[in-house]
Amino acid sequence: MAMRSIILGVAASALIAAAAVSQTNPTGQTSPSTQPGAAPTQPSSTPRPGATTTRPLPKLPPRPRLGQVDWTQVVSDRRQRPGERLLAAFKTKLDQGAVDRTRIPILIPEDGPLMERARFYSFGDFYSLNLDVPNGSVELTGTKIFTPAPKNFINRLKPEGPENLTVVRTIDGVQASFTRYGLLYTVEIRCDEPKDGRCREEGPLRKILEKVRGVVLGREARRAAGLEGQS
Amino acid sequence: MSRLRLLLAGSAALSLLAACGEGAKNDAAAPADEPVAATDAPPVATAGADETVHDGGAEQLPEDPIPATEGPPETPAPAAEKASFPHGGVGDLLPGSGSGYADRTDWSPQMCWPMEEVGFPNSQVYNAGGSKGPSGKGQCDKTNYDFPWRDNFCESRGASNPACGSATGHQGQDIRPKTCEKNKHWAVAAEDGVVTDIGSYTVTLTASTPPYRIYRYLHMNMPALPVKEGQAVKKGQRLGQVSNYFGSTPTTIHLHFEMRVAAAEQTSDGKSLAARAFVPPYSSLVKAYERKLAGGTC
């Protein structure tokens, strides 16, 4: 019994010591290091007044869910859209392997100069299409993976029209989100210079949005749409 | 006017930081795994300890209005648990800097702490050296490089953030590196992914697995990035050195770390709204740093 108490006592001391180490050495270092020429920035071991070290447990994020693609609408739009030849030309700008791996409709702007140096990155259910504009870039994304948001997380946005278009200003640009075919798509313009007017007003982005009408389907998407064998 | 002390071949000289333009863009046509030569890296620049940044302190442009701060966080503070290093609570912003978003969700439960070394999440605007910080102190003030950490998601800013009470606010978390030296301390990939965009002061990393989180790293040493657009990276891999690039006007030395997800919410009238949304990184950063302290690989 006495031995057990000693063992428990030693273990408790070790735990306390370990806790003390993690408290007094939060930089993860075993000894203080110095940076020659550096400003006096060494973190102190003592929390400042008001700092607390007890916190609530984080929650796991909500389980993502899959959106359902409205393939009927996709097929209908592709039939009604003029300029299929133009679309085919754009398609050759994209990495065909990446296009074929993409399981969702790929939206592209019907704008030759904008598509000139298109780079396409596919993650299957998500894609990113990166385009150049002078002193900036435009990124289009599409996804069928949604994360349920907490209450009042995004509903302060003011959605417009049947596609629930929302526009937000980011640090380096302007981002638009909208739903089409049951999926979420975004178009974002980013500028090299934060003061660039194209990235501080919605107009330039909305002009690009008006051109985002082309729909490209890769092999996986055509299969899902029941269009195997068609281009 | 903000000045930076450039250390050239061991001799100090004062100079304005050159604007970063098209030259900072990487060539997407280059092979994805081609290493970037470090020979054209600019000289290391160090902000003086007495330097005060008058540019707004972070991503806040002087002409952008900062909304008045409002009331307390919407979500009540829940029960407590033991944590391993000194840090303020989720949504616990500096007094007078806005109303935080007290969301305890760990939006990226497996992510790496996005710095190779220790870092100090805190405000760039309301701390020493910021445009609304205490007077007479520079950004290298020791209080900026110390614990406790401080959440600054939803800090008062002009940019949109629908999660914040005023629908505007800081869209990520600002993190100072280990010391007040730029172009020295590395930011690393939070998850496995692909670098899908590189701007003049931004790097976008898209995670390669669902829910395909988008991480944005701002203000790194852009001419010397070890990654290129289109490159696949592993979590913990170096993305760039923390610096102060922000177009033609440098900001404080810090990493702006941002996370976005495709969020969906049921509106009050029963409709579904979806948008690419900024999620608060603070809980994930705390947990990731705890894992690093406990011996994790990143």
Q: Which of A143, A77, A136 is nearest to A110 (CA)?
A: A77
Considering CB atoms only, which of A40, A136, A171 is closest to B256? A171
pLDDT > 60? residue A188? yes
Q: Is residue B108 within 8 Å of B191, Cβ to Cβ?
A: yes
Compute the residue count for chain B: 298
pLDDT > 70? residue A166? yes
List CB contacts (< 8 A) between B267 and chain A: 155
List CB contacts (< 8 A) between A58 and chain B: 90, 104-106, 109, 283-284, 286-287
Band of the pLDDT at A138, cuts 50, 70, 90?
A: very high
Lowest mean pLDDT among A215-219, B126-130, B152-156: A215-219
Residue B73, pLDDT score = 35
**Share of residues in chain A with pLDDT > 90 (%):** 59
Q: Per the omega criterion (within 30 degrees of 0), is the bond before B35 cis?
A: no
List CB contacts (< 8 A) between B291 and chain A: none
Band of the pLDDT at B10, cuts 50, 70, 90?
A: very low
Residue A88, pLDDT score = 76
A171 touches chain B (CB under 8 A): yes
Q: Which of A186, A153, A165, A180 is nearest to A62 (CA)?
A: A153
Tell me whether residues A147 and B263 touch, CB distance under 8 A.
Answer: yes
- Please give the ipTM for the structure prediction: 0.79
Q: Which residues contact B125 (CB under 8 A, 6 or more apart)?
A: B56, B57, B58, B60, B97, B131, B132, B133, B155, B157
Lowest mean pLDDT among A42-56, A77-91, A133-147, B204-218: A42-56
The DSSP secondary structure of B31-74, one letter per residue, reads: -TTPPPPSTTPPPPEE--TT----S-SSS--TTSPPPPP-SS-S
Considering CB atoms only, which of A22, A27, A135 is closest to B22? A135
pLDDT > 60? residue B116? yes
Band of the pLDDT at A59, cuts 50, 70, 90?
A: confident
Mean pLDDT computed over A108-128:
94
Residue A26, pLDDT score = 61
- The two beta strands, A212-216 and A106-109, are antiparallel
Tell me whether residues B276 and A195 touch, CB distance under 8 A.
Answer: no
Band of the pLDDT at B77, cuts 50, 70, 90?
A: very low
The DSSP secondary structure of B10-30, one letter per residue, reads: TEEEEEPPPP--GGG---TTS
Question: What's the pTM value of the predicted model, to 2 decimals?
Answer: 0.78
Q: Which has more confidence, A185 or B76?
A: A185
Lowest mean pLDDT among A59-68, A77-86, A141-150: A77-86
> In angstroms, what separates the C-alpha of B219 from chain A's closest C-alpha?
11
pLDDT in tens, B134-143: 999 999 999 9
Residue B140, pLDDT score = 98
Distances (CA, A) of A81 to A106, A107, A130, B262: 14, 13, 23, 28
List CB contacts (< 8 A) between A131 and chain B: none
Q: How far apart are CA A64 and CA A122, in angstroms?
A: 19
pLDDT > 70? residue B203? yes
For B248-265, the three-class secondary structure string (H helix, E strand, C coil) is ECCCCCCEEEEEEEEEEE
Compute the residue count for chain A: 231
Distances (CA, A) of B24 to A35, B20, B32: 28, 6, 17
Tell me the pLDDT of chain A averaged across its residues. 79
Considering CB atoms only, which of A22, A147, A150 is closest to B262? A147
Q: How far apart are CA B60 and CA B97, in angstroms?
A: 13
pLDDT > 60? residue A126? yes
For A115, the 3-state DSSP assignment is: helix
Tell me whether residues B286 and A55 touch, CB distance under 8 A.
Answer: yes
